[in-house]
Amino acid sequence: MTSSFVFDDAEHMRALFAEETNGNIYSRFTNPNTTEFVDKMVAMEGAEAGVATATGMAAGFASIIGLLRSGDHIVSSRAVFGSTHALLTQFLPRWGITHTFVDIDNNAQWEEAITESTKMLLVETPSNPGLDIADLSFLGALAARRNVILNVDNTFATPLLQRPINYGAHIVWHSATKWIDGQGRGLGGVVVGRADLLREIYLFARNTGPTLSPFNAWMFSKSLETLHVRLDRHCANALAVAQFLELHPNVERVMYPFLASHPQHTVAKRQMKSGGGIVSFIHKDGAVGGKRFVDGLKMASVTANIGDTRTIVTHPATSTHARLTEEARQAVGITQGLVRLSIGLEDVSDIIADIDQALQ
């Protein structure tokens, strides 16, 4: 915990600033805690370099703005987190960076949307909150063939369930706030990937300031030591909840990548080790049913986060994705009856009992 580091002497200070020697200068640039966290994430993702950021959105923003410039174009999956959607539609156009949305599982659309100006393919898989899946093998090959950067938000999967770099991704980012912290304690993010690209992103973060606090970096480093144990339990609980919901008469449809009924089930099985800890479903009584379900839960917390030890419920159409137009929500299947559950570490029979009584 320090803002800056003491140099041995004036020559040491000069050499550090000139990058002739390794070491810490100032915690906006690097800090031993953030370096430890980044190094762990780099190893887990099979990347070459990384940068830790203050939030997941800072990671996503840095991964784009650190590499692109005015006139560049992004092809993005339509189904992205609400703030990523806002970044693409409301902020990046101010700096002349445009985008085309495509359906995440429509490979022909990805291919056709690429223009002369396209510099990046951006994808979130599984997507929040619809759990749509992109075919990473296809996107990796496409990015290589068309010479564009493949940038993946891997928040929902974590490197334990899916390693996009194995399929050709150049950049991978996370909201560390979610499964990486896993205990609902603090915000953070991380970008990892190819060394030359990460150098640009590092310089952007170092000079504009969205870097991670040493305290949160220490916390996330400790969290990574338990990630495998936590995720095993989250995923097992989530699959059991998804299977339970699928048979429930008050449920219209369940979205979970490891259910055979998921439209991209085969792709999910190929590229993911497990289905993850999020289960979304559509209540058969639409908005009224969805909201009554949320209010009926006794154990689960009603909150906007995911990836906590506790089971969490959210109604995306009126919260995380409320700022999208109804048309934009419909295009990615975020109907008024959609409920998102982040399945916790509680005993699965308690989670299912709570969901069951709320559905009743």
Which residues are near ligand PLP by CB under 6 A? 55-57, 60, 81, 83, 124, 128, 153, 155-156, 175, 177, 187, 189
Q: Which residue number, 83 or 151, has a Cβ lying nearer to ligand PLP?
A: 83
Comparing CB distances to ligand PLP, the nearer of 82 and 290 is 82
Among positive and negative, which fits the CA dihedral 204, 82, 129, 99?
Answer: negative
Indicate the residue among 140 and 184 with the shorter CB distance to ligand PLP.
184
Strands 171-175 and 189-193: antiparallel
User: Which is nearer to ligand PLP, 58 or 67 (by Cβ)?
Assistant: 58
User: Cβ of residue 84: shortest distance to ligand PLP, in angstroms?
Assistant: 6
Q: Which two tokens stand for residue 217?
A: 């970096």
| Shortest spacing between CB 277 and ligand PLP, in angstroms | 12
Minimum CB separation of residue 100 from ligand PLP in Å reads: 20
The rounded distance, in Å, linking the Cα atoms of 41 and 47 is: 8
Smaller CB separation from ligand PLP, 52 or 359: 52
Encoded tokens for 233: 């339990």
| Nearer Cβ to ligand PLP (33/53) | 53
Q: Give the side-chain half-sphere CA count within 13 A for 17.
A: 8
Q: Tell me the closest approach of the beta carbon of residue 41 to ligand PLP, in angstroms.
A: 14
Q: Could you tell me the end-to-end alpha-carbon distance of the chain, in angstroms, rounded to an integer?
A: 50
Smallest separation (angstroms) from ligand PLP to the CB of 105? 17
Q: How far is the CB of 266 from ligand PLP (least distance, A)?
A: 23
Nearer CB in complex with ligand PLP: 128/359: 128
In the bound state, the residue with its beta carbon closest to ligand PLP is 56
Residue whose CB is less far from ligand PLP, 189 or 290: 189
- Establish how many alpha carbons lie within 13 A of residue 140's alpha carbon, considering only the half-sphere containing its beta carbon: 14
- Shortest distance (Å) from residue 222 CB to ligand PLP: 18
From the number of C-beta atoms within 10 Å of its C-beta (0-12, 13-18, 19+), residue 284 rates as: middle
**Virtual CA dihedral for 86, 88, 89, 90, nearest 10 degrees?**
60
Distances (CA, A) of 273 to 131, 191, 235, 257: 15, 21, 10, 11
**Radius of gyration of the chain from its Cα atoms, rounded to whole angstroms:** 21
User: What sign does the CA torsion over 65, 57, 269, 171 have?
Assistant: positive
Q: Which two tokens stand for residue 128?
A: 């929040």
Cβ 129 to ligand PLP, closest distance in Å?
A: 8
Cβ atoms < 10 Å from Cβ of 282: 21
Count of helix runs (H) and strand runs (E) in the chain: 14, 12
Least distance in angstroms from the C-beta of 139 to ligand PLP: 17
Half-sphere CA count of 173, side-chain side, radius 13 A: 30
With respect to ligand PLP, which residue has the nearer C-beta, 156 or 204?
Answer: 156
